[in-house]
Amino acid sequence: MQTTDPEHLPSVSEGVRLQKYLADAGLCSRREAERRIEKGRVRINGKTVLEMGVRVKPGDLVEMDGKKAEANEPLIYVMLHKPADVVTSCKHRGERVVTDLVNLPFRIFPVGRLDKDSTGLLLLTNDGPLHHRLSHPSFDHEKEYLVQTQPALDDNALAQMAGGIVIEGRKTRPAKVYRQNRETFRIVLLEGRNRQIRKMVAACSAEVVKLHRIRMTFLNLGRLPSGEWRHLTPEEVTKLKALKENHPAYKKQFKGRK
């Protein structure tokens, strides 16, 4: 396998970082781009790239998995009401994937994830930088869920969840918790650990029967039917971008990365 020679790579002071270029092209998120680079699946001008510091400059031919990568697709922003029994990752072969529900000729990627059995609001986009920044744990974006358990959790258990519960050796961050009815409560999280709510409920000796996301940041699922999707409005997209650009984590981590 022919790999990159540092003498023939663009200077680190010019061009666009390779992982950002791939994300901007709508091929994958920036994190996924980094993984694919590490696996030797990306080439610049015919040479395999294995380093993260490489930049793409005008005139470079970038390929991923043998396909030319160029940002020539319109940016898409979609809200989907994810039904149950649909997965967010295409790694699960033979199962329906959320992108199968969105009838668009462009590649889009879910922002975060919902378990196969979970339902509700899911954002999908091919805007790589926005995807990366909304998915990054430093941004503290609120996500609100309706949770039904069996047996029902008492007020003491809900108070424990609000204050933080130790799961897998690490305490969860404080959350907002509100009782909806006897068996259902609402919880607002600022973090998104794997199967976090289900593990928090299990720590309270109960089991999640239904888990439904109703809000992400300022975006509410509203009356969008299960399995249906809609484009975000221009106003929603503008507000979403302003949200991440004004966040201290953005200014600290992404300053100068345009």
Query: Which tokens go with 118?
Result: 């979970």
| Per-position DSSP letters for 33-47, written without gaps between them | HHHHHHTT-EEETTE
Q: Does one domain contain both 123 and 243?
A: yes
* Length of the chain in terms of residues written: 258
The pLDDT, as a whole number, for residue 254 is 43
| Per-position DSSP letters for 60-78, written without gaps between them | --EEETTEE----SPP-EE
Per-residue model confidence as pLDDT tens for the chain (258 residues): 444 443 343 333 345 788 888 887 777 888 888 999 999 999 999 999 998 888 887 567 889 888 888 766 688 999 999 999 999 876 656 788 998 999 887 778 888 889 999 999 999 998 877 887 787 777 778 999 999 999 999 999 999 999 999 999 999 999 999 999 999 999 999 988 889 999 999 999 999 999 999 999 999 999 999 999 999 999 999 999 988 555 554 444 444 443
Q: Does one domain contain both 131 and 230?
A: yes
**What is the value of pTM for the model shown?**
0.70
What residue ranges in 115-235 does DSSP mark as E strands? Answer: 119-125, 143-150, 166-167, 170-171, 176-179, 184-189, 207-216, 219-220, 229-231
Catalytic pick among 115, 140, 154, 155: 115
Q: Does one domain contain both 208 and 98?
A: no
Radius of gyration of the chain (CA): 20
Q: Does one domain contain both 64 and 86?
A: no
Q: Does one domain contain both 188 and 153?
A: yes
Q: Does one domain contain both 132 and 197?
A: no
Q: Does one domain contain both 149 and 166?
A: yes
Examine residue 258 and state whether it is found in any structural domain, yes or no. no
Pairing label, strands 170-171, 47-48: unpaired
**Residue 115 annotated among the catalytic residues of the structure:** yes
Domain count, the chain: 3
Range of the domain at 38: 6-68
Query: Which tokens go with 249?
Result: 């984590």
| DSSP assigned state of 156 | H
Q: Does one domain contain both 235 and 206?
A: no
